[in-house]
Chains A and B, each alone.
Chain A
Amino acid sequence: MLEGGKIDSKQAIFLLTTMVLATAILFVPAIIAHHAKQDAWISAILATLGGLVIARLQVTLGLRFPGMTLFQYLEVILGKVLGKAVGFLYLWWFFHMNAEVLREFGSFLVAAFMPDTPIIVFIIIIAIISAYAVRSGLEVFTRVNQIILPLILLSLLVLFALATKEMRIIRLLPLLDTGVVPIIKGAITPLSWFGEMATFLMIIPYLNKPQEAPRIANTAILISGTFFLITVLGVLAIFGPALSARWMFPTLNGARMIHLANFLERLEAVIMVIWVFGAFVKISVFYYAGVLGSAQVLGLKDFRPLVLLIGVIVVALSILLHPNILDLARMLGQVWPPYALSTFEVGLPLILLAISLIRGKGGQQQ
């Protein structure tokens, strides 16, 4: 057994919620508002509902193979050679996704707070901390997250409450102005964020009650969907659709709007805190999935020696992926969602489930 730890259902819900929400609140609202204008919040609801369906699919696949992670049953479903080949593709996806998150993490800090600092500084620092967390094992960063997530959610609620003074519900009207297609287009990006729930397939075997996996996935998606919806509604009601779509990080600007009684202002520091903690957890989860998966594909007995190696690959990748922040934004808004959804988040799990049903692999004991 590569991982000896076990986490309970509540811890898993917390972990998955942070994983989805951490980057969604900052990068996604502007992308949705660009497509769906003032109906962006409908896109957010659609994406949450779609996320429930995707998670159902992924969890159904995972539960057919109790005690196994994705990489282990890939070989059961597809045979040894093909299974390993697809395993390497999944590994690439975890590395790539983690590199994108690292880049997002650094880009935000440089663009909004410290323009003179090279981006690699932030990326290396968070990568080292995450490497330490991953080396310590699943249980450790899961417990850290039990402290972090309530802080994130509470901060988001407080920011929203303080910003209500700047909000005008009238900015959300008229309803369904741009029609249904832009709303669906707007839903695709957040849907790909919910699709990151595929990482759950690496964690299901380490739940102390794996049979609760569907409930865990649903609860995590509903919590993150609710807070994501709150964020989108807040941003739209503060800035209106035109300006929301033009900001790089509308949630940051929303927090900057707060000024109460001439002393409670400049609350964007809270956004930075949410961002740093949330990104730490998110990066750790993907990092862990990549490291554990590598060890399983390569047939190692321990994943710890791989931590540093994979860290170096992912950090280098995060720098090489994009020449500038606009390229990153284009990737996240246009390329990543259809790519990730059609392959690793929905496409492949669907094919794997179909093949395992046809070939009669995997048990029904649940």
Chain B
Amino acid sequence: MNELALALGAAVDRTPDGKFLLTLQFAKPGEFAAGAPEGGKGKVSAPVWVVSATGKTIFEAERNLAMQVSRHIYWGHLIVLIIGEKAARHGVREVVSLFLRSPQPRETMWVMVTEGEAKNLLMSQPGLEKSSAQAIGFLARSKAGYSVELKDFAAMLASKGGEPIASRLGSLKMVTTPSLGQKTPVEEVRITGVAAFKDDKLTGWLDPSETRGLLWLKGEVGKGVVTVPCPGKPEKQLSLEIIRATTKVIPEYRNNKVSFTVRLMLEGDLEEEQCDENLTKPETIKAIEKELRKDVKQKAELALSKAQGEFKADIFGFGEAFHRAHKREWRMLRDNWNEEFARAEVRISVKAYLRRTGLLTKPATLRE
């Protein structure tokens, strides 16, 4: 332990002169074990240490970086690989290959892309976790947005039937609270959507609500919240938690035209309502389900139009679905799949069910 420098996060950027800038965040085991330093007790030292170096290849940058690190760099605990926007637009194939080729880094680390410099995110100091790399790791595991592991990213890169995507990462400056012993502003990392690639190059961004649509079309919704206007009272809202969601993509090939039918289904429980609505009435439930269908469909179409129109990139993996259903036709289409995808007609149908309303039937505080 005393001879190893444990890297928690790696950031890859591109410098203006075409070199790679590699930044590593190292854990300081002593500070980690000591727990959070309490306010006013003197020694306040960050539990991590961030170092950068440049090189013509990432590995060369790592060797240059090692000259500043007194210990042997250990990659086995790497939690996240963050790629800066410039490096991502330039192409990420060699970055991904490097981290898979080397036996130390895990294939299960998260891959994220950030607008601007990736280095800055490793420098940020979160409030709850000891290092930003850990904070990112926990965020990714909580599935806030679309989290991609290195091996999944590599599989998407290697497949002709779908373009890669990765989480989009941003940061947020929080205010300082001197009463809690904070001296410097805490900077929090946060997941702000999805980065869409075409082949191995970054092509654009999806915001959080487009990301919801992407999750729907990829069949990765899992859990989440849907907020829709109250039936009959558009200024008030109600929120449902998704308990179960399924996505079924049915590819069709007729008259030399590719089309998809996407069937979405969700079951939700009511969590919060501002409507003062009597939910015991069947027609109210029906009306809420209608609003749900509208909302899901609209988000899915938002993501779809961006992928088909702006990116012309199949970020949903529809190509894989087409391949599974029509293997012969796929052989003709696979080499210009993105153009076929952009032309394809996609019909989205949604079924939504409100199953439970928690422990209440009507709002408890309602005066009758």
Contacts and interface: CB of A to CB of B under 8 A. Distances in A.
Given A115-B103, A170-B324, A259 B108 contact: yes
B103 A257 contact: no
Chain A contact surface mostly? helix
A85 interface: no
Interface in A250-266: 253, 256-257, 259, 266
B323 A111 contact: no
A246 B107 contact: no
Interface in B129-177: 151, 154-155, 158-159
Interface residues of B, number: 14
B155 A239 contact: yes
Contacts of A323: none
Q: Output the residue of B103, B151, B155, B324 with the most chain A CB within 10 A.
A: B103
Nearest to A247: B100
Nearest to B102: A115
A112 B107 CA distance: 13
Contact of A174 (B76, B106, B151, B323): B323
Contacts of B323: 174, 177
A242 interface: yes
A174 B325 contact: yes
Interface residues of A, number: 19
Nearest to B159: A242
B158 A246 contact: yes
Interface in B275-333: 323-325, 327
A257 B158 CA distance: 18
A256 B155 contact: no
B157 to A, nearest CB: 9
Contacts of B154: 243
A193 to B, nearest CB: 25
Contacts of B108: 256-257, 259
A246 B324 CA distance: 21
Contacts of B327: 174, 176-177
B103 A113 contact: yes
A205 interface: no
Nearest to A246: B158
A257 B324 contact: no
Contacts of A177: 323, 327
A174 B324 contact: yes
Nearest to B106: A256
A172 B155 CA distance: 14
A243 B154 CA distance: 7
A242 B153 CA distance: 12
Interface string A324-352: 00000000000000000000000000000
B155 A243 contact: yes
A268 to B, nearest CB: 9
Given A170-B324, A174-B324, A111 B107 contact: no
Contacts of A173: 324
Given A174-B324, A246-B158, A256-B108, A112 B103 contact: yes
Contacts of B107: 253, 256-257
A49 B155 CA distance: 31
Contacts of B106: 256
A240 B159 contact: yes
B155 A242 contact: yes
B32 to A, nearest CB: 16
Given A174-B324, A174-B327, A253 B151 contact: yes
A253 B76 CA distance: 14
B29 to A, nearest CB: 18
Interface string A167-196: 000100110110000000000000000000
29 contacts: A111-B103, A112-B103, A113-B103, A115-B103, A170-B324, A173-B324, A174-B324, A174-B325, A174-B327, A176-B327, A177-B327, A239-B151, A239-B155, A240-B155, A240-B159, A242-B155, A242-B158, A242-B159, A243-B151, A243-B155, A243-B158, A253-B107, A253-B151, A256-B106, A256-B107, A256-B108, A257-B107, A257-B108, A257-B151
Interface of B: 76, 103, 106-108, 151, 154-155, 158-159, 323-325, 327
Interface of A: 111-113, 115, 170, 173-174, 176-177, 239-240, 242-243, 246, 253, 256-257, 259, 266
